[in-house]
Amino acid sequence: MKTSDLFQETFLAIIANKVRSGLTILGIVIGIGSVIAMVSIGQGSAKSITDRVESLGTNLLTIMPGSQRGQMVRGGMGSATTLTLEDAEALKTISTVKTVAPTVSSRKQITIKGSNTNTSIYGIDANYFSVKSITLELGIAFSEVQYKSKNKVAIIGPTTRDTLFGENTDPVGQKIRIDGQEYTVIGVSESKGGTGMGSSDDLIYIPLGTAQQYITGSDKLSNISVEVLAADLMDSTEEAISALLLQRHNIASADSADFSIMNQADMLSAMTDMTSTLTLLLGSIAGISLIVGGIGIMNMMLTTVTERTREIGLRKAIGAKRGDISLQFLSEAVTLTFISGIIGILLGWLLSYLVSHFGGITTTISPQSVILAFGVSGAIGIIFGYYPARRAAKLNPIDALRYE
């Protein structure tokens, strides 16, 4: 039996049972489609989280104040005020530290004529933008003079700009009121994507001195961002900073430190772990439906074998060998899964497109997930088709012909 004959037989057999073939294909299509869509959602969110963390700056250590451990009441992270500008200055003496950017932050009500919002105010110094890899969309950064003389000038995030002034407007030169005091907008930062907590799009930057004097009213810092020279120096630098600050704060043991150091790389790997678990979870849920679809194929093929017992007997009587029969049924199963695979990939692609378009979730279809889904569908065809095919091939032609 030639390959072209095999295809013809397969085609005729599938066409002969349109409804049943269609339903079987539907089962696999849903399985493969959901695997691709689920994995694309998982990988998309993994990518967006990674991108966001990376956009916040690489080689970055963030030192946050915290109350000393061992005391009766422990405040929330960042709520304590144990870091000072002198601490930040001292950190510059560590050789592996590239730049130090002390910040203070606070949430305030912002008002302009006819609009208002509530957002974070960041008091920053000249190093901040380079440490956090922030660039400006409009206007210019704070000047040396503005830092020194604690001018009331502000650079606002794009989301804040959109909220206050309307989308894509140029607010440079406009006045905003923070906590009742008037500031002049001199720039808008470039969007870095992302929403919610940690977004660098919805906030207002002002010079550090200005913030300390007019917003928080103290010389304490909210956190210190430290850029390290190279990624492999992160751990040693973290230890050096910890030792230095413990010494400056007169604390004997690292266990009772009144600050904590957050390592960007650690955060990234924690996030990555989380999202890959998510991807795995979504993928395995979808995988279950793929297996159910596979059992559907097996069920259909077994029904077909039973239903076509006489036909198998006849084919054997007119000269079909075992190999011919098993190849025919295997080919039917594989063809069904192959068709399902193609439709399933299209469906998965469509689903993930719809999810990203209407659901606002980033999705990424990786070639691996397509290959995986296709490979799995092929394997399902072969595995779940093999048993019915073998059963058909082993039928005794006499018994098969007598079968009612």
- Per CB under 8 A, residues contacting other proteins are 1-2, 4-5, 9, 12, 16, 310-311, 313-324, 397-398, 401
Based on CB atoms, which residue is closest to other proteins, 12 or 197?
12
> In angstroms, what is the minimal distance from the CB of 11 to other proteins?
12
SS3 129: helix
> In angstroms, what is the minimal distance from the CB of 385 to other proteins?
21
> In angstroms, what is the minimal distance from the CB of 328 to other proteins?
11
Based on CB atoms, which residue is closest to other proteins, 204 or 400?
400
Structure tokens at 164: 């206050």
Based on CB atoms, which residue is closest to other proteins, 132 or 316?
316
The answer to whether 61 and 226 have CB atoms below 8 angstroms apart is: yes
Based on CB atoms, which residue is closest to other proteins, 92 or 402?
402
Structure tokens at 307: 């239903």
Residue 185 belongs to what H/E stretch? strand 181-189
The answer to whether 349 and 36 have CB atoms below 8 angstroms apart is: yes
- Tell me which residue of 69, 57, 92, 82 sits closest to 241, measured CA to CA: 92
The residues pairing with 155 across neighbouring beta strands, listed in sequence order, are 187, 205
Residue 83 burial (10 A CB sphere; 0-12, 13-18, 19+): buried
> In angstroms, what is the minimal distance from the CB of 334 to other proteins?
20
> In angstroms, what is the minimal distance from the CB of 325 to other proteins?
10
Up-side HSE of residue 401: CA atoms within 13 Å toward CB?
9
Q: Crossing angle of helices 264-307/18-55, nearest 10°? A: 180
> In angstroms, what is the minimal distance from the CB of 321 to other proteins?
4
> In angstroms, what is the minimal distance from the CB of 315 to other proteins?
7
Up-side HSE of residue 325: CA atoms within 13 Å toward CB?
29
Dist. CA 210–CA 105, nearest whole Å: 12
Based on CB atoms, which residue is closest to other proteins, 69 or 321?
321
Based on CB atoms, which residue is closest to other proteins, 22 or 323?
323
Based on CB atoms, which residue is closest to other proteins, 54 or 324?
324
Radius of gyration, CA atoms only, the chain: 33
